[in-house]
Structure 1
Amino acid sequence: MRRLNRRLVLSVLGVLWIAALLLYLGTRKRLEGVGPGGQLQTPKGSDIDWDDLWDQFEERKYLSARRWKGGEDPYRLYAFNQRESERIPSDRAIRDTRHHRCTTLHYSSDLPPTSIIITFHNEARSTLLRTVRSVLNRTPVHLVHEIILVDDFSDDSDDCRLLIKLPKVKCLRNRKREGLIRSRIRGADVAQAGVLTFLDSHCEVNKDWLLPLLQRIKEDPTHVVSPVIDIINLDTFAYVAASSDLRGGFDWSLHFKWEQLSPKQKAKRTDPTEPIKTPIIAGGLFVIDKAWFNHLGKYDAAMDIWGGENFEISFRVWMCGGSLEIIPCSRVGHVFRKKHPYTFPEGNANTYIKNTKRTAEVWMDEYKQYYYAARPAAQGRPYGDIQSRVELRKSLKCHSFKWYLENVYPELRIPEESLYQTGMIRQRQRCLETQKSEGQDSPVVILNPCITSKGAAAAAQEWTYTYNQQVRYQKLCLSIQTLFPGSQVVLLPCREGDGKQRWNKVGSHIEHMATRYCLDTEMVGDTNENMREVVINPCESTAMSQRWEMVMS
């Protein structure tokens, strides 16, 4: 009997010990304390079964908030098709869009882990969750130190807070709207890993996306690397492969664009898995060594909300000793929206001008004149104190912008050297000419027989096509006064940035940029073929009156 009682006691103690252990683990899983600065603490999760955490996460309840309702505009809240996003599972399968050679590559076994930083403001819960879940599903566990969500003062704090039940996820909430730039700085400051990975909140990472990025950082910490950014269609949410022959580029107004590699650059690329040097990154998705990020001065914290920060950090990386690369074997899908679903306190255009003007003033040296010529609205606009950024550039002993143009982006043509072209604008045997009669305030534009000899008469047919797409005669520019077909082309004082004065040569047509109509001539009256006025009309490929030759020297 005594032995039976002893066994019974031991059994009870064993049950109590197991119950206590389960209670302890359950408490750890549900731990959601609020720390200083609004930081939500989460369990470390390294020894917790991820499947158990997913089981505890109430996905259906999380996604039920602010769901699209029949009859509503599905684009109203987020500027993409909310209805379609909510129909797609959070863990949907996507096609591996890499080149087949990527699957044969081998990476170091000791790659550094990374802190993944995702900032958002009023993001759709369906896309935010899909972003996080794609990272957890398609990334080796040991390479994700943490996923830091920075909630930039969204209307509903639960958008972020409820996600800390997921593995590796932490949440920071701003006490006021700070914008992407300052939010990313905050996330980077608390990140514990030695490598930072910045993602947007409407992405889906593809298979083995992180390994090739970390490999380049391990090989050289001054590499700043970006994946090939695939396209998630904003209407259907179809995942579409992007070309791997693209790199980032821009014009003098600091407008980002994707550009094809030149035939010469393509010929040099014998291996499609090799990194692509890029003058600029899109900015939403990239990986950088944390010590290098801090050494370079993080982001310019005086920039507001969003826009232009990718130029500033790209110029700084290249000019101060680093490099930018696109890694073809890393693929991440991204929803590209046509407009911003959120508001900018000072307006979208004003914010972008402020941010890019700070970039031009600090980094572009004497070449900033071309920025102002291409973006005249920036003249006289306030842009804050830049002294600390100027001093940063000096302390880092960075190269000049001239060096950047010569060594990184020689394809960006310098306006004064290459795009002021002077000559005649000819239609068969007749040329555009300026003619001023007595009593007229300014000359008119007519067609007259071309003059090949020098002299005052020939000077009236001499036009200058400028780098910002104006057609000038001395200080006057070809312009229109109304935007309707048949509107007469006139000469008006040149004004930088005036859309009515911008023209583009497209084949044999000269296209008016604002209207997309073509330079044309029409008879004055019914009888005299020689009397023709210069107008704009809808473009017609067969219209002889719309065919022009710009004979420029």
Structure 2
Amino acid sequence: MSLPSLTAVICFANEGEEVETTVRGLRETCGDDIDILLINDASDDGLDYESVADRYGCRYLLNESQIGPAHSRHKGASWAKTDNVIFLDAHMRFYEQGWHTVVNEMIFEHPATLFCTKSRPLKTGGEASGAPVGHGASMIFGADNFNAALKPDWNIYPIEGDGPAYVPCVLGGNYAVSRDFFLSIGGYRGLHRYGGEEALISIKTWLSGGNCQLIRDVEIGHIYRDGRGAPWKDKVQYFHFNKLATAEILFDAEEKAQYFELLEALPEGKSAKRVFTSRRSFVQSARKVFQAVKRHPMAYYYELNAAFRRRETITPE
């Protein structure tokens, strides 16, 4: 039997039965043609997730303490044994047999591209929520408050045409990419704990000479979180930290200073800045890695992002 070409990296914390449901769906639609790597980010709900991995032929990694999805996914890419990886949340639904072959073919044809699929919003339990299907995203930059700035914004409008379509930002909890390309641009390096992965990796992909595309032929269901939010501890201050880290990695001094100024207005701003100060060297190291492969200025991304938000067709240079 030939080795799989795609690894599904699934990071989770306290997801309960959804982990098994997601893995079962992968095996039912992809068979053994996909390698599954489960990364348990220090769950403390008492479930035996390792037995789930055993039943479905998954590799299993346990983090003794929480490090968050960005670091876990980056670790998963490093551990992958295949050419391609897809980062999945642990509460997904799959509807088409062999959908992974479409993803693999797209990556092999476009090795410097970060892909997402259409995203069907689901309620707890897996039923359709009635919300519009997501077709990739764009970025919000010019907001006058920290929470709204540097934030992905769903595109709910179908993109006309056949085959994949260029989008400024991936979104939907499923991101597929060549392992080598992902690691060459620094992946999620610099982020900490929870939040901000889509903004950082999407902009880095475009600025490094690659691009982001929506696979219009595949739709994956995603149970979006309710008011309980994500299962990672102290998520607010780390979410803010990751936005600061993204600004540090991508922007010049004057522009990134604007994000630090916006943070001043938030009550948790001081704690987020303390986290940033404690990890500044890691963030600056991530900036150095990315700046070495960067090929376009931020103005290039701003232009294509603005065009997409006007619902114009965008293409890379």
Partner of 1:296: 185
- Measure, in 2, the Cα distance between the counterparts of 1:237 and 1:132: 14
SS in 1 for 2:136: strand
SS in 2 for 1:230: strand
State how 1:258-407 maps to structure 2 within 5 Å. 258-261=154-157, 269=160, 271=161, 273-282=162-171, 284-300=173-189, 302-341=190-229, 344-345=232-233, 347-365=234-252, 366-368=254-256, 371=259, 375-377=263-265, 381-382=273-274, 383=276, 384-385=279-280, 386-407=283-304
- Measure, in 2, the Cα distance between the counterparts of 1:356 and 1:203: 26
Q: Cα distance 1:325–1:242, how it changes in 2: closer, same or farther (>3 A)? A: farther
- Determine whether 1:133 maps to 2:24: yes
Q: Is the 1:249–1:258 Cα contact (8 Å) retained in structure 2?
A: yes
Quick check: which has more Rg, 1 or 2? 1
Identity of aligned pairs, percent?
24
More helix by share: 2
Task: Using structure 1 for the length normalisation, give the TM-score.
Answer: 0.49
Gaps in structure 2 of 5+ consecutive residues: 142-148, 311-317
State how 1:99-248 maps to structure 2 within 5 Å. 113-125=5-17, 127-141=18-32, 143-144=33-34, 146-156=35-45, 158-207=47-96, 208-234=98-124, 237-239=126-128, 246-248=135-137
SS in 1 for 2:30: coil
- Determine whether 1:256 maps to 2:256: no
- Measure, in 2, the Cα distance between the counterparts of 1:243 and 1:233: 13
State how 1:13-24 maps to structure 2 within 5 Å. none
1:425-446 deviation digits (Å, cap 9, x = unpaired): xxxxxxxxxxxxxxxxxxxxxx
Amino acid at match of 2:110: D
Q: Cα distance 1:344–1:219, how it changes in 2: closer, same or farther (>3 A)? A: closer
SS in 1 for 2:107: helix
- Measure, in 1, the Cα distance between the counterparts of 2:220 and 2:289: 33
- Measure, in 2, the Cα distance between the counterparts of 1:357 and 1:390: 12
- What is the root-mean-square deviation of aligned Cα atoms in Å? 2.8
Q: Is the 2:23–2:56 Cα contact (8 Å) retained in structure 1?
A: no
- Measure, in 1, the Cα distance between the counterparts of 2:172 and 2:122: 17
Task: After TM superposition, give the deviation of residue 324 of structure 1 in Å.
Answer: 0.7
Higher relative contact order (CA 8 A, sep 6+): 2
Task: After TM superposition, give the deviation of residue 166 of structure 1 in Å.
Answer: 2.3
Q: Cα distance 1:238–1:283, how it changes in 2: closer, same or farther (>3 A)? A: closer
Task: After TM superposition, give the deviation of residue 239 of structure 1 in Å.
Answer: 3.2
Task: Using structure 2 for the length normalisation, give the TM-score.
Answer: 0.82
1:109-168 deviation digits (Å, cap 9, x = unpaired): x9972111111111122x111100110001153x31x21110111115653211133243
1:338-395 deviation digits (Å, cap 9, x = unpaired): 33455554x3321111000110122133443554566544776242322212211221
- Measure, in 2, the Cα distance between the counterparts of 1:283 and 1:362: 23
1:197-247 deviation digits (Å, cap 9, x = unpaired): 11100111120422221111011111111111112113x631368756733
Q: Is the 1:231–1:241 Cα contact (8 Å) retained in structure 2?
A: yes
SS in 1 for 2:11: strand
Task: After TM superposition, give the deviation of residue 254 of structure 1 in Å.
Answer: 2.0
Amino acid at match of 2:250: W
Q: Cα distance 1:162–1:275, how it changes in 2: closer, same or farther (>3 A)? A: same
Gaps in structure 1 of 5+ consecutive residues: 1-45, 47-109, 414-553
Task: After TM superposition, give the deviation of residue 408 of structure 1 in Å.
Answer: 4.1
Amino acid at match of 1:130: T
Amino acid at match of 2:213: E
Q: Cα distance 1:281–1:377, how it changes in 2: closer, same or farther (>3 A)? A: farther
